[in-house]
Amino acid sequence: MNIILLGPPGAGKGTQAQRLVERHGMRQLSTGDMLRAAVKAATPVGLQAKAVMERGELVSDEIVSALIGEELDAMGPETGAIFDGYPRTAAQAEALDGILGQRGRSLDHVIELDVNEDALVERITGRFTCANCGKGYHDKFEQPKVAGVCDKCGSTEFKRRPDDNEETVRTRMAEYRAKTAPILPIYETRGIVSRVDGMADMDQVTDAIEQVIAS
């Protein structure tokens, strides 16, 4: 199964993708995570992407589509893919069709997380992750069970994203509205879009996604 999780910054794409990975052994393909790893490793892609990401703008279509192709090639053909934060433009949506087709894959579902943008700034500015295993947390909505200790791996190191400040978040949202939301009709004409209430409790969102996948 290959699915796209679509939604603005803070909609819960990463949170829900991690849960699908745990439950179904699928692979999360987050272009944001791939780019952050490239920035950290100071690869040529990372050097090109760093400033763009800090401004909250979009990295070039060619770069992200190449990253997605490489990740898919590193996966077994039986492993399902969850696309998180990709595609984000019409050009990326078109590229994804080619990338999947060349590998004998096709899209099963596009799940749109329907959210109220006003609530997202709070979600994003309160977010942090385990520096060791990447598990996501939130100051208010999902704290570690033992303060300062990761539930999943026991690490005591956590980190916050440099683009998780209010000003950059506003730019990221504007980019979503201008360039990403307009790709939905492409998938609507194929009859594979499902809308899920992303403002519901995290577990309810997971249940709703499970229902879509089972349908």
Q: Residues with catalytic annotation?
A: 13, 88, 127, 161, 172
Query: Within 13 Å and on the Cβ side, how many CA atoms surround 194?
Result: 17
Q: Which of residues 109-168 bind ligand AP5 (CB under 6 A)?
A: 123-124, 127, 136, 138, 141-142, 163
Question: Applying CB under 6 A, does 12 fall inside the site for ligand AP5?
Answer: yes
* Coil/strand/helix, residue 157: coil
Map residues 47-76 to x or -, x wherever contact with ligand AP5 holds by CB under 6 A. Answer: -----xx--xxxx----x------------
Q: How far is the CB of 103 from ligand AP5 (least distance, A)?
A: 18
Residue count, binding to ligand AP5 (CB under 6 A):
33
Contacts of 119 (CB under 8 A, 6+ apart): 199
Looking at this protein, which amino acid is placed at residue 194?
A: S
d(CA 14, CA 136): 8
Of all residues in the shown chain, the one whose CB is closest to Mg ion is 14
Q: For residue 112, list its beta bridge partners.
A: 6, 195
Question: What DSSP assignment string belongs to 133-150?
Answer: T--EEETTTB--SBTTB-
Residue count, binding to Mg ion (CB under 5 A):
1
Question: Applying CB under 5 A, does 14 fall inside the site for Mg ion?
Answer: yes
Question: Applying CB under 5 A, does 12 fall inside the site for Mg ion?
Answer: no
Contacts of 154 (CB under 8 A, 6+ apart): none
Q: How far is the CB of 191 from Mg ion (least distance, A)?
A: 27
- The residue whose two tokens read 């956590």 is 158
Q: Cβ(124)–Cβ(9) under 8 Å?
A: yes
d(CA 41, CA 76): 25
65 binds, among Mg ion, ligand AP5, none (CB under 5 to 8 A by kind): none
Closest to Mg ion by CB, 14 or 87: 14
> Using CB under 6 A as the criterion, which residues of the chain lie in contact with ligand AP5 when the complex forms?
7, 9-15, 31-32, 35, 52-53, 56-59, 64, 85-86, 88, 92, 123-124, 127, 136, 138, 141-142, 163, 172, 202, 205
